[in-house]
């Protein structure tokens, strides 16, 4: 995730335009991760919006401007977890409220097989894979988000990619 540290510093000082520029820099990455995590475009949009609001309100508490990417990703991760919990609490799973896989894969440009394979992973492992592959985070940064060591993140990533490979090989 690329962002301007200068914009972070200005946003911490209350500069709204700098925060808007920051949001523009990270919005697509946040949205992509939220889509892959939640597998629902509308929920992903909501999670990203809630993340932006929380980041705007809390940016003054960010101690290290260099860690803005990790900090905002942790906020997004928490918002996604809340959405998943909220959905599980409020909804009974029926055929009517399961999103069509074709719609998801078309919107996310992701194959049905990959979406299905990702769905077999637990939330934290899925986030480790997504943050590594799609956002280019280092294991130490992901570890900071989830309170894990870098070596733990790397081993979970390796296990997850092996599992995904086996699943995808079985589908072809």
SS3 137: coil
What domains can you pick out in the chain, each with its CATH number? Answer: 1-100 (1.10.1740.10), 111-172 (1.10.10.10)
Instruction: For residue 106, name the pLDDT band (cuts at 50, 70, 90).
Output: very low
Closest CA to 15 of 74, 73, 51, 65: 65
**Given pLDDT bands bounded at 50, 70 and 90, which one contains residue 119?**
confident
pLDDT digits (tens, 9 = 90+) for 71-98: 999 999 999 988 887 766 565 544 455 4
- Would you say residue 143 has pLDDT above 80? yes
91 vs 74: CA distance, rounded Å: 25
The pTM of the full predicted model, rounded to 2 decimals, is 0.67
C-alpha to C-alpha distance for 10 and 19, rounded to whole angstroms: 8
pLDDT the model gives residue 91: 53
Number of helical (H) and strand (E) elements in the chain, helices listed first: 9, 0
Mean pLDDT of 130-134: 85
């Amino acid at each position: 995730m690329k962002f301007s540290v200068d914009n972070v510093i200005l946003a911490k000082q209350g500069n709204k335009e700098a925060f808007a520029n920051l949001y523009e820099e990270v919005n697509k990455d946040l949205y992509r991760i939220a889509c892959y995590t939640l597998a629902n475009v509308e929920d992903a949009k909501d999670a990203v919006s809630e993340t932006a609001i929380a980041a705007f309100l809390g940016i003054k508490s960010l101690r290290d401007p260099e860690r803005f990417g990790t900090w905002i990703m942790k906020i997004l991760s928490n918002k996604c977890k809340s959405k998943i919990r909220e959905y599980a609490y409020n909804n009974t799973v029926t055929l009517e409220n399961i999103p069509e896989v074709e719609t998801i894969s078309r919107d996310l440009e992701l194959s049905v097989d990959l979406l299905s394979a990702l769905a077999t992973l637990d939330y934290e492992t899925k986030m480790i894979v997504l943050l590594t592959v799609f956002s280019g985070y280092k294991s130490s940064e992901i570890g900071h988000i989830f309170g894990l060591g870098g070596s733990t993140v790397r081993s979970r990533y390796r296990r997850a990619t092996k599992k995904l490979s086996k699943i995808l090989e079985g589908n072809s």
